[in-house]
Amino acid sequence: MQDKEIHKIGLGGGCHWCTEAVFQSLRGVLTVEQGYIASEGINASFSEAVIVHYDRNVIPLEVLIEIHLLTHKSTKMHSMRDTYRSAVYVYNDEDTAFAKAVLNTLQKSSEERIITAVMPFKDFDPSREEITNYYKKNPNKPFCERYISPKLGELKNTFAHRMVDF
């Protein structure tokens, strides 16, 4: 049996309740921290996001990025992009180069321009405990049924082999 190769990546794009549920449903994801991530420069403000701790031997970064693009509006600019920044937040230069290469590869097969940016991780402000694990605690609430369940259904259609029983 291979040793775990634990890494982390920040992902933002839509509501962090949705993003949290998507990544909690994947094999190889060990922990998902829900909250707000800040980068630098014009992206120094906090935006809803998650930090995903994962085992690269089970789920590679390129798959996490592909799933991220699939489960949020990664090609749409809208008035709430400051709150819901479409981003991959990286912790080191190696992941920066790799994430950019993955996005470039995925862009080649997309008819629409992917707006998701690779940004350095600078700071994290965790969500209040009452709203963490939101979908797990509230799967039948209207928000979950309207927004999260369809994302999990779409994920299951494409990546069922990557999902855990949720």
Q: For residues 130 and 75, what is the distance between their CA atoms, to the nearest angstrom?
A: 31
Q: Whole-angstrom Cα distance, residue 152 to residue 108?
A: 25
Angle between the N-to-C axes of helices 93-108 and 61-70, in degrees from 0 to 180, rounded to the nearest 10: 50
> Is residue 32 helix, strand or coil?
strand
Catalytic residue (choose from 9, 11, 15, 144): 15
- Indicate if 18 belongs to the active site: no
Which DSSP letter does residue 74 get? T
Q: Do the Cβ atoms of 161 and 24 come closer than 8 Å? A: no
Alpha-carbon torsion (111, 43, 40, 50), positive or negative: negative
Place of tokens 């350095």: 120
Q: Which residues are catalytic?
A: 15
